[in-house]
Amino acid sequence: MIIITQDLDGVLRPVGNFLQFAIISIIISWKIILEIYEDIADRTVARITNFVIFLLHQISKTI
């Protein structure tokens, strides 16, 4: 386990293996990016679904 300490100058520094700290940082940021894109994708799918329903409704009106 990595412990992050704050030095007297306010800089956050990992105590332990720096490579391990870097890998965990990348994984955390990657998860945040994926969550943001997942949210955008969900909204896009919802818009496409609403548009298809709207089109079907318009087609059924004209028939």
Pick from 19, 13, 12, 14: nearest CA to 2:
14
Strand, coil or helix: 3: strand
* AA letter at 48: I
Answer for the pair 6, 28: CB distance below 8 angstroms, yes or no: no
pLDDT of residue 29: 87
pLDDT band with cut points at 50, 70 and 90 for residue 26: confident
Residue of higher predicted confidence among 28 and 3:
28
Residue ranges of domains in the chain: 3-62
- Determine what percent of the chain is predicted with pLDDT higher than 90: 8
pLDDT of residue 51: 92
Consecutive H or E run containing 62: helix 18-62
Report if pTM > 0.85.
Answer: no
